[in-house]
Amino acid sequence: MRPTARTYQGTDRNLALLARHLRAGGLVAVPTETVYGLAADATSARACRKIYEAKGRPRTDPMIVHIGSARDLALVAVPNAAALRLARAFWPGPLTIVLPKTAAVPDAATAGLPSVAVRMPSHPLFRRLIRLAGVPLAAPSANPFGYVSPTTAAHVAASLGAKVRHILDGGPSRIGLESTIVDLRDPLRPVLLRPGAITRSDLTMVLGVRVAVRRGARARGPQLAPGQLARHYSPRTRVVLHARLSARGASARPDEAWLFIARPRGRLPGNVFWLDEDGDLRRAARRLFAMLRRLDEACFGRIHAERPRGSGIAEALADRLARASAR
């Protein structure tokens, strides 16, 4: 029989055990404030390759390197004044910055690129684990590549339990969407690569310059940062994205799921779902991936999803739904 994953609570003894496992080149699924990640020593090419193998991740998709302290930024990247301003404003937190890398980071972590995506997470258990391990940790989402990201330890066990022996349980992810990614290789021309809980207007306010938005990813070759591919975060069930949804349509198609941002009014059939009772977008973001997993497991013929409208966190929600629905 293949070994199954063990879930650990965040005790001092367990954290010390998992830190030793990471220093030895092993894998540990970890909680973050965004989604659960699959961590390994970011300075070890061999350990990084284990992440790609466990996830079925293409080697052209780089990983985010996580550090436990802002002082460690210079160990893995070459910072500039703009990056340091963002770090002071948003770290620890859900912001990833793309910068030129140092020799400490192997090509296996960065898809062979001379740049590295780096962030300092705010989840207290993950930060303690990084400090105990004594090395920065590469940690993409802890799920098979392209599938819906996990926001609980149970999600990790369900999808990667046969390939990952150790899961640190830190409770449900507080944000529920992957980190915002900004390219600051040229500090005068910042580019938003992936929207998240830290918005483009948040970045612009701190940097004092307009933050552009990258449209589309490279068709071939290494991606500059994770989350750039057209299809990503996808359940097995086909997702159809709509500018607007009406609950009336759900009654005519009881074998298909209808997913709204807010709870529709009136009496609703059993195939109607919503992300937040009142339509609060931050709460909706926290529940998006768990809901997509739930609907996928329910074996509906299709999932009809409503596209959120507006700026800020709405852009991040719309981005994930667009990629989940791409064919």
- 214 and 183 Cβ atoms separated by less than 8 Å: yes
Sequential pLDDT tens for the chain (327 residues) = 455 799 999 999 999 999 999 999 999 999 999 999 999 999 999 999 999 999 999 999 999 999 999 999 999 999 999 999 999 999 999 999 999 999 999 999 999 999 999 999 999 999 999 999 999 999 999 999 999 999 999 999 999 988 999 999 999 999 999 999 999 999 999 999 999 999 999 999 999 999 999 876 665 789 999 988 888 899 999 999 999 998 888 888 999 999 999 999 989 999 999 999 999 999 999 999 999 999 999 999 999 999 999 989 999 999 999 999 998
Tally of domains in the chain: 2
Boundary-marking domain end, from 178, 213, 248: 213
- Please give the pLDDT value at position 230: 85
The domain in which residue 287 lies consists of: 239-325
pTM: 0.95
- Please give the pLDDT value at position 1: 42
Query: Where do we find the tokens 């207290």?
Result: 124
CATH classification at residue 260:
3.40.50
Residue 230 lies inside a defined structural domain of this protein: no
Q: Name every residue whose Cβ is closer than 8 Å to that of residue 34 and which is 6 or more positions away in sequence.
A: 94, 121, 173, 175, 176, 177, 178, 179, 196, 197
Report the alpha-carbon distance of residue 282 to residue 279 in Å, rounded: 9
- 18 and 12 Cβ atoms separated by less than 8 Å: no
Helix (H, G, I), strand (E, B) or coil at 238: coil
Tell me the DSSP string of 18-39. HHHHHHTT--EEE--SSS-EEE
- Please give the pLDDT value at position 229: 86
Residue 222 lies inside a defined structural domain of this protein: no
Query: Is residue 45 located within the same domain as residue 166?
Result: yes
- Please give the pLDDT value at position 246: 87
Burial class (CB in 10 A: 0-12, 13-18, 19+), 3: exposed
Burial class (CB in 10 A: 0-12, 13-18, 19+), 132: middle
Query: Is residue 251 located within the same domain as residue 143?
Result: no
Boundary-marking domain end, from 213, 229, 259: 213
Query: Is residue 51 located within the same domain as residue 174?
Result: yes
Report the alpha-carbon distance of residue 158 to residue 243 in Å, rounded: 32
Boundary-marking domain end, from 160, 179, 213: 213
Report the alpha-carbon distance of residue 142 to residue 103 in Å, rounded: 26
- 34 and 170 Cβ atoms separated by less than 8 Å: no
User: Left (φ > 0), alpha (ψ -120 to 50) or beta: where does 233 sit?
Assistant: left
CATH classification at residue 128:
3.90.870.10
